[in-house]
Amino acid sequence: MSLPPFKLIDNLKDVGNTILDNNQSYSHRFLYASLILCIITLILMIVWSIFGMTLYIAMWTSYTANLCAFISFAFMFFGKSPLKK
């Protein structure tokens, strides 16, 4: 049994709306987490350019920041947008 793609997208939006009920948007949390991880990445890159040896850690924090940003945009797309009150 296959659903038409638009019906599937509507079902995913309903799931996103039930996840984001009570105006508590997880999207903001993931977005803030990605911003904090980007700042940590910048600090680690500056420290690496001065002292060396922390490029590997900075690389993995940047990967994690990208993942958090991707998750937040997925919440924005499939659920309620946190910008709309």
Residue 29 lies in a domain: yes
CB 42 within 8 A of CB 59: no
* Domain ranges, residue 57: 25-85
- Work out how many domains the chain is built from and give that number: 1
Q: Which of left, alpha, beta for 22 (phi over 0: left; psi -120 to 50: alpha)?
A: left
Residue 15 lies in a domain: no
What confidence tens digit (pLDDT) does each residue in 30-45 have? 667 777 777 777 777 7
**pTM strictly above 0.75:** no
CB 75 within 8 A of CB 30: yes
* Residues in the chain with pLDDT values less than 50: 1, 22-23
Residue 11 lies in a domain: no
